[in-house]
């Protein structure tokens, strides 16, 4: 009887979590966001003919199931009819002459089976994306249950994940929630003695976001830091951190990580077509770094403010333990930075997002892990810390859901009115959000913004040959007494009214 009771108790949590997620699946509708054209039509393709190449009938079927996308594929269809070598940029013609999405098809392949089942049952077939996202949440819940040895704490940890960006993206038809949940679950499994599960989850996440492959160096390192014992030799530490099971987990995960690279090499002769066509390493710099973590519209800090504050002020210990805590936190921050660096090279910096940018969401997972590690030390969680996390993160998610990616956030608008000298966004963010568009920033244009009740802010590039004429009119030039602020890539801001003079 005692054994049966124990088995029943272990099953309560997964059954309860499955019922909750099933209720959400019935209630929620899929949000068509992110790289929606690629993921929808590729899911249809894999479900229809078992291959990720895009055909005319796949587009027709996609538009039938998602009528609001009708016409969006027109440029691709035109290129397909004409046999153009270079097709609509979200897609590419492979060496075999077929058309493929530029993002790997791992996520759509996972959605293909539920898509077919829903279509046959007469249900909304693109809810298949919710199935994949919620399955990742279910696995994350299991990882948290193993990590904390408590169902209630696991539910609290899952709620914290949702309050740190998960709720922004868990209904999207793109892999942001899937990647973040798999990454965090992979780290939790690895640290709680299940490296094979951890490696496989990290491998799945890295298929859509390749920088997550840094997990395979970070996870053993972090496990070694946590298990460190004074007087233990380097050899013993390595054997403990990289035993047979750990090596198997790394190998399995890297095999999944390699699939997109091998596919790209076969079809395009490069490891990553996205990196070749849609990124520029020259864009990586302090401006983007600051923007990634602290921008008031889409930076990580507006998505996980309570987590950052809690890590800064709560749970520190003294002595030798303090040094280890600092090292563990530094390792988590370093992994977050490793995830961020390639993302900072993307050409489209102000891309579609809900509040916190998509890259920042999954790059925040190592930082969230640092807080979970600190919480695990406490048999009873401090009520003040839990209340702080719940309240502030709820406010952060409410704020994130209140504006679109092509407008300034309420917080950014307040700062631009009340403290304009303190905030100079990365140029693309400023240019697109003040104009409410998703376009390219151009050097021959002037971007001026005057919030109601606040001073003007003007963005320009000194290389513009008509700069003085555009800002001051014919015969006048900019005065050296303007309030200048240098930004990235040569762009400059003028705060306040523009001052001009005649030579």
414-467 pLDDT, tens digit per residue, is 999 999 999 999 999 999 999 999 888 999 999 999 998 889 999 999 999 999
Q: What are the distances in angstroms from CA 379 to CA 148, 314, 374, 382? A: 9, 15, 11, 10
Contact 335, 151 (CB under 8 A): no
Give the whole-angstrom CA distance, residue 43 versus residue 65.
Answer: 12
Question: Residue 234 has what pLDDT?
Answer: 56
Beta bridge partners of 313: none
User: Cα dihedral sign for 13, 17, 18, 20?
Assistant: positive
CB-based burial label for 384 (10 Å; 0-12, 13-18, 19+): exposed
Question: Which region, left, alpha or beta, applies to residue 405 given φ > 0 means left and ψ of -120 to 50 means alpha?
Answer: alpha
Largest distance between two CA atoms of the chain: 96
**CA angle 168-344-263, nearest 5°?**
85
Question: Residue 453 has what pLDDT?
Answer: 81
**Residues 243/248/249/251 CA torsion (nearest 10 deg):** 120
**Phi and psi torsions of 129, nearest 5°:** -65, -35
Please count the helices (runs of H) and the strands (runs of E) in the chain. 23, 8
The owner of tokens 């899929």 is 30
Give the whole-angstrom CA distance, residue 207 versus residue 218.
Answer: 18
pLDDT, tens digit only, all 503 positions of the chain: 454 344 455 789 999 999 999 999 999 999 999 899 999 999 999 999 999 999 999 999 999 999 999 999 999 999 999 999 999 999 999 999 999 999 999 999 999 999 999 999 999 999 999 999 999 999 999 999 999 999 999 999 999 999 999 999 999 999 999 999 999 999 999 999 999 999 999 999 999 999 999 999 999 999 988 887 655 655 666 666 788 899 999 999 999 999 999 999 999 999 999 999 999 999 999 999 999 999 999 999 999 999 999 999 998 887 777 888 899 999 999 999 999 999 999 999 999 999 999 999 999 999 999 999 999 999 899 999 999 999 999 999 999 999 999 999 999 999 999 999 999 999 999 999 999 998 889 999 999 999 988 899 999 999 999 999 999 999 899 999 999 999 999 999 999 999 999 87
**Phi and psi torsions of 156, nearest 5°:** -65, -40
Contact 362, 335 (CB under 8 A): no
Domain boundary assignment for the chain: 36-123, 130-400, 410-501
**Phi and psi torsions of 492, nearest 5°:** -135, 150
DSSP state of 99: E
Contact 133, 170 (CB under 8 A): yes
Closest by Cα among 278, 279, 258, 280 to 104: 258
Question: Residue 3 has what pLDDT?
Answer: 43
Contact 33, 352 (CB under 8 A): yes
Question: Residue 243 has what pLDDT?
Answer: 85
């Amino acid at each position: 009887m005692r054994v049966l009771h124990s088995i029943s108790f272990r099953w309560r949590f997964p059954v309860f979590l499955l019922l909750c997620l099933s209720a959400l699946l019935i209630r929620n509708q899929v949000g068509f966001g992110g790289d929606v054209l690629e993921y929808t039509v590729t899911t249809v393709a894999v479900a229809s003919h078992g291959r990720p190449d895009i055909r005319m009938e796949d587009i027709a079927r996609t538009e039938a199931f998602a009528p609001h996308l009708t016409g969006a594929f027109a440029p691709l269809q035109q290129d397909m009819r004409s046999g153009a070598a270079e097709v609509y940029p979200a897609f590419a013609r492979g060496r075999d002459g077929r058309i493929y999405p530029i993002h790997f098809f791992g996520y759509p392949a996972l959605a293909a089976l539920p898509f077919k089942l829903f279509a046959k049952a007469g249900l909304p077939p693109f809810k298949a994306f919710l199935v994949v996202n919620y399955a990742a949440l279910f696995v994350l819940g299991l990882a948290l249950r193993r990590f904390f040895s408590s169902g209630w704490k696991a539910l609290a940890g899952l709620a914290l994940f949702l309050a740190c960006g998960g709720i922004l993206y868990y209904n999207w038809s793109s892999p942001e929630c899937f990647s973040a949940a798999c990454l965090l679950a992979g780290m939790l499994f690895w640290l709680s003695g299940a490296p094979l599960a951890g490696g496989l989850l990290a491998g799945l996440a890295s298929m859509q976001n390749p920088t997550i492959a840094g997990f395979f160096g970070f996870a053993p390192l972090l496990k070694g830091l946590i298990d460190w014992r004074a007087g233990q030799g380097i050899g013993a530490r390595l054997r403990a951190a990289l035993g047979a099971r750990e090596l198997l987990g790394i190998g399995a995960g890297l095999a999944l990580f390699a699939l997109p690279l091998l596919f790209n090499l076969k079809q395009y002769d490069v490891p990553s077509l996205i990196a070749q066509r849609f990124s520029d390493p020259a864009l990586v710099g302090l401006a983007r770094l600051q923007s990634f973590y602290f921008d008031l519209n889409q930076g990580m800090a507006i998505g996980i403010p309570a987590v950052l504050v809690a890590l800064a002020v709560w749970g520190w210990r003294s002595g030798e333990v303090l040094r280890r805590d600092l090292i563990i936190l530094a390792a988590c921050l370093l992994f977050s930075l490793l995830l961020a660096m390639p993302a900072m090279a993307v050409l489209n910096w102000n891309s579609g997002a809900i509040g916190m940018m998509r890259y920042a969401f999954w790059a925040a997972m190592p930082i969230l892990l640092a807080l979970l590690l600190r919480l695990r030390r406490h048999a009873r969680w401090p009520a003040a810390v839990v209340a702080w996390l719940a309240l502030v993160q709820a406010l952060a998610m409410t704020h994130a859901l209140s504006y679109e990616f092509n407008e300034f956030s309420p917080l950014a608008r307040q700062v631009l009115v009340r403290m304009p000298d303190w905030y100079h966004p990365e140029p693309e963010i400023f240019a697109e959000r003040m104009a409410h568009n998703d376009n390219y920033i151009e050097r021959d244009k002037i971007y001026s913004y005057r919030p109601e009740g606040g001073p003007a802010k003007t963005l320009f590039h000194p290389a513009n040959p008509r700069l003085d004429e555009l800002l001051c009119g014919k015969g006048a030039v900019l005065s050296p007494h303007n309030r200048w602020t240098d930004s990235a890539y040569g762009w400059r801001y003028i705060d306040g009214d523009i001052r001009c003079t005649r030579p």
